[in-house]
Amino acid sequence: MEQFRGQPRLPKFAVPKRYDIRLKPDLVVCKFTASVGIDLDIVDETAFIVLNAAELSVTPGSVHFKAQNSSEVFEPTKVEMVEEDEILVSEFAHTLPMGMGVLGIGVEGTLNDKMMGFYRSTYELNGEKRNMAATQFEPADARRCFPCWDEPACKIFCCAIPITQTGYGRNPGFRFWGNGNYGLVTYRDTELLYDDQHSAAVDKQGVAIVVAHELAHQWFGNLVTMEWWTHLWLNEGFATWVSYLATDNLFPEWKIWTQFLVESNESLRLDGLAGSHPIEVEINHTDEINEIFDAISYTKGASLIWMLQSYLGPECFQTSTHIARKNYHKEISYFHESKNHVEVREVFWREEMDGDSD
């Protein structure tokens, strides 16, 4: 198992296709159990299955693999949780059969207080303090809820966007502005609730921008996903640009793009420091990801998108972006399946330039 230690990415001999996840939280003792069935495509000869897991305890005897074309159930000879690399390694006595199969795993965990993975939060109802369970999986914390391939290129894509209805939920004490979950977008109270009688005008503006940003992630982030966190700016830059675009269309009297220029000073300041980073940063460990959720990825990224839109014109830009999203979202999402591996930057730039030439 030593060959899997210290690696920035998971090996690619197994590709997840579908997850069947059953969670049972106990809000009194703040513990939970999870059982996971993962449809896997074994694409290369291997006697190992390696996936992400962290701060979980594997239920003894729960790990097994059953090939689709066989009645035989393969049980591992050794199961090891490598905490420093946040991986779960199962070693089998024989090479696993190629093709589809189902991996089953049972785990136990704690509803932590770190706002990471599957965690506990509190709220008050009629003066009584109560616990609630919530999730925060981005950027790399789904592994704290259930074992999985916790990389953006391995996401499971089987849903239509836009969906017929999107829910909005409060998450008391949330440390982020919002989280653009598919179907249920959650927000910090101050970024969702607005009262004409008691809230300031700046609060209304903040709610508009944040709500638009998180809804934009349904397309840029959920539907179209970067292959790895190196390209984070594509997620956050697009969502930031869309948030100002939507707000400007709804409330043109705010002159929101003028405010954007003023707010861009922070990204310019960061970009001028010796410790600045390029808009694309090579990420070699998940510990490095949070460091690039900053004004450079968000505001500088949005500035590049805005610049390109201004060069091409709004109509051409929108048409080309729609074509790129429609034609290539599976290639951008499913890097393991795509025979014609397509870099999202190349796709986007090619469609924009083709649109301009038309």
3-state secondary structure of 89: strand
DSSP-assigned letter for residue 264 = H
Distance CA 337, CA 129 (A): 48
Distance CA 36, CA 83 (A): 20
Angle CA(144)–CA(146)–CA(152) in degrees, nearest 5? 80
Given 138, 214, 227, 331, the catalytic residue: 214
DSSP secondary structure string, 69-82? T-S-EE--SEEEEE
- The model's pLDDT over 236-248, given as tens digits with 9 standing for 90+, comes to 999 999 999 999 9
Please give the model's pTM, rounded to 2 decimal places. Answer: 0.85
- The model's pLDDT over 70-106, given as tens digits with 9 standing for 90+, comes to 888 999 999 999 999 999 999 999 999 999 999 999 9
Whether 128 is catalytic is no
Query: Does 2.60.40.1730 match the CATH number of domain 2-150?
Result: yes
Of the candidate CATH numbers 3.40.50.620, 1.10.3470.10, 1.10.3720.10, 1.10.390.10, the domain formed by 167-357 belongs to 1.10.390.10
DSSP-assigned letter for residue 294 = S
Binding site for Zn(2+): residue ranges? 213, 217, 236
Per-residue pLDDT tens, the chain, 358 aa: give them.
788 988 889 999 999 999 999 999 999 999 999 999 999 999 999 999 999 999 999 999 999 999 998 888 999 999 999 999 999 999 999 999 999 999 999 999 999 999 999 999 988 889 899 999 999 999 999 999 999 999 988 876 666 566 777 888 888 878 888 888 888 899 988 888 888 888 888 999 999 999 999 999 988 888 778 888 988 998 999 999 999 999 999 999 999 999 999 989 888 888 888 878 888 888 888 888 988 998 889 999 999 999 999 988 989 888 888 776 666 555 444 333 344 444 545 555 555 556 555 5
Chain region(s) in the chain for CATH 2.60.40.1730: 2-150
From residue 39, alpha-carbon distances to 27, 46, 93, 137, 159 in Å are 30, 16, 21, 21, 17
Binding site: residue ranges? 213, 217, 236
| Angle, helix 301-312 to helix 314-333, in steps of 10 degrees | 130
